[in-house]
Amino acid sequence: MFKGGFIQNLPKIYGIYTGGFIVFILLMAIAEQMGMTSKAIGICFVAFTVGIYALIGYLSRTVQVDAYYVAGRQVPTVFNGMATAADWMSGASFVAMAGGIYFKGYGYMALLVGWTGGYVLVSTLLAPYLRKFGCYTVPDFIGTRYGGNAARMCAVLVLFVASFTYVTAQINATGTIASVALDIPFNIAVYVGLVSILLCSMLGGMRAVTWTQVAQYIVLIIAYLIPVFWISNKLDAGLFPHLMLQDEVAKLASLESEYGLGQVKNTAAQMAEVKAVNKGLAGITKAHSAVNTTPWGFISLALCMMLGTASLPHILMRYFTTPSVRSARKSVAWSLFFIFLLYSSAPMLATLSKLALLDPAAGGIIGKSFAEVTSLDWYQNWNQAKLMYVSDFNGNGTLELNEFFMQGKAVVLATPEIAGLPYVISGLVAAGGMAAAMSTADGLILAIANALSHDFYYKIIDPKAETRQRLLVARALLVIIGFAGATIAALEIQSILGSVIWAFDFAMSGLFVPLVLGVWWKRATKEGAVAGMLLGLGSGAFYLYWVFFAKNAGILGITHLTFGIVGVVVSFIAMVVVSLITKQPDAATQKMVEDVRIPSGKAILGKQH
């Protein structure tokens, strides 16, 4: 059945895996009919999928440096696309995005544009050139292109700040889902999530992460699309929701005006009552499809996410694993295609979910009596989980639009239940969310640990270290960083989505300019790069402190979510000015940049370095 090596058989292997997963879903559906409890179904889904990932992680164990750092550079184009998509789509994309669109509408959808448009920058400006370079990590590129340990260390610093901010959010998301699905307290669930994450990456590094990420993509995309299509058909909204929800979007607009959206403002005391239940609860205050932000508000957020995408090391390093420059380029296209499948479905899910809430014909609850609403099974469940809340502010006994509150993540987690889908779908969604959060956390922890072990330990502290020693250090760092991330995640400082957006801003502040100019501007010097990274990161971080923690009004409409704009502008000016006043790079460096621009021929850095 399996002729040839592992790589030749990938389509077959993942085909069987997908088939097996679908059979598992069907078995669970049958078990539910036979009376299996919803709690047991949830546990089965999470345990079964995490078990598979751990098995893949174990089978991919390796003692080779290039397999550990770049999966042996033999990941085929389309599979690398899937792995990147899983690496990319985090717990925030899976669990929080549809909810954000649901509550914040158009202004929030800037994130959709930003998180996809960034890939155009990755493919045109960076990925093929970094692949040609043949580096193991992003700081490896900075260190070799500009020369010297200072530039390398600055890159490690930016990478650490950005990726660590991001990873706490992902471990938080893993913990949230594990605590709901397994019914255990959050601060224990965080560590359960962490152990699952480490099982995937510890023994096999990038190779193991690659093959688990492909498996996780398959689970998460099935888990996202099945409910969207199912709900759409159940509500009679359209066979293919993406192309057929025009009437529903229009209907929401008319229902919003019928229910008097935004006309009744809740008082501070009323909102305090809601926030006392759970500070994440929000009401519907924004129109579904109307433009509700200024052009600059929209564009600045989209721009930050795009430049951040092109600077996040855990994404860039995925393109180090393809066999050639050509396949790196194509692989970016496939990544975005696989991401598009989920991102274009999120607004549709938000539309359907809101319809199920508002439209009387679809079983909507707005306008019904409180007695009726509070006796609904699903309301009681989600109210108990503190994700949903209603309160009769005006005392008329009927639920008004301004009296309904929900937390954003409930849109993805609760909609299947609200729309009356069997519980097996909710279990599937939990498994999908877990896959999304785990795959991103794995990529991030690996990016940080690899940068520290390769760029800091091997390149700076002990360049004579043997392979065994290097991989031991890499694995030890993986565990340490994981635990540090989980400990901070358990503190819950910032919301999942807020931390993710900050991570993008940090990355673009420090890394975007040095990366791009490293390829596109021969005159860029080491001193320029160091100035660009430090001043960019420093100014961005200062602006964040200034508007978010010190509560000052920002300038030019730049908020704590878009502080990367300050960072990237400072970084650009600093890097150009300092590069021009310092001595131009030596002939060898200029020759290196010229070689990077030629897509064929030898990689700059050898296979083993």
Partner 1 sequence: MSNKEKHWMKTRNHMLVTLAIWFFFSIVIYLFGADLNNIKILGYPGAYYMCAQGSLLAFVILIFWFANRQEKIDDECGYGGKEED
Residues in touch with partner 1 (CB under 8 A): 73, 106, 109-110, 112-114, 116-117, 119-121, 123-125, 128, 132, 134, 242-243, 245-246, 249, 289-291, 293, 295, 298-299, 302-303, 306, 323-326, 329-330, 332-333, 336-337, 340, 343-344, 347-348, 594, 597-603, 606-607
Q: How far apart (Å, rounded) are the C-alpha atoms in residues 351 and 247?
A: 11
Q: What angle do CA 87, 90, 92 make, to 5 degrees?
A: 165
Which structure tokens are listed for 100? 């954000």
- Measured from the CB atom, is 203 or 342 closer to partner 1? 342
Q: How far apart (Å, rounded) are the C-alpha atoms in residues 318 and 311?
A: 13
Smallest distance, partner 1 to C-beta of residue 116, A: 5
Please return the burial class of 446, using the count of CB atoms within 10 Å of its CB with bins 0-12, 13-18 and 19+.
buried
- Measured from the CB atom, is 283 or 599 closer to partner 1? 599
- Measured from the CB atom, is 284 or 490 closer to partner 1? 284
Smallest distance, partner 1 to C-beta of residue 249, A: 6
Which structure tokens are listed for 363? 């079983």
| Residue at token pair 């009927």 | 398
- Measured from the CB atom, is 281 or 302 closer to partner 1? 302
Q: What angle do CA 342, 348, 349 make, to 5 degrees?
A: 80
- Measured from the CB atom, is 384 or 600 closer to partner 1? 600
| Residue at token pair 């889908």 | 421
Smallest distance, partner 1 to C-beta of residue 351, A: 9
Give first-to-last CA distance, the chain, whole Å.
37
Smallest distance, partner 1 to C-beta of residue 57, A: 25
Bridge partners of residue 388, in order along the sequence? 406
- Measured from the CB atom, is 372 or 594 closer to partner 1? 594
Amino acid in the structure at residue 118? G
Which structure tokens are listed for 201? 């990456």
Smallest distance, partner 1 to C-beta of residue 113, A: 5
Q: Is 173 helix (H, G, I), strand (E, B) or coil?
A: helix
Nearest C-alpha neighbor of 568 from the set 341, 310, 390:
310
- Measured from the CB atom, is 262 or 599 closer to partner 1? 599
Q: Order of strands, edge to edge, in the sheet holding 281-283?
A: 281-283, 404-407, 388-390
- Measured from the CB atom, is 262 or 363 closer to partner 1? 262
- Measured from the CB atom, is 80 or 168 closer to partner 1? 80
Nearest C-alpha neighbor of 174 from the set 157, 161, 191:
191
- Measured from the CB atom, is 246 or 267 closer to partner 1? 246
Nearest C-alpha neighbor of 362 from the set 543, 205, 233:
233
Q: How far apart (Å, rounded) are the C-alpha atoms in residues 185 and 571?
A: 43
Smallest distance, partner 1 to C-beta of residue 105, A: 8
Smallest distance, partner 1 to C-beta of residue 71, A: 13
Smallest distance, partner 1 to C-beta of residue 123, A: 5
Asked whether 18 and 218 are in contact (CB, 8 A), the reply is yes
Smallest distance, partner 1 to C-beta of residue 514, A: 18
Find the helix or strand (DSSP H, E) in which 389 lies: strand 388-390
Helical H runs in 451-563?
Answer: 467-489, 496-507, 513-520, 526-544
Smallest distance, partner 1 to C-beta of residue 85, A: 12
Asked whether 130 and 448 are in contact (CB, 8 A), the reply is no
- Measured from the CB atom, is 339 or 425 closer to partner 1? 339
Strands (E), 271-337: 281-283
Smallest distance, partner 1 to C-beta of residue 84, A: 12
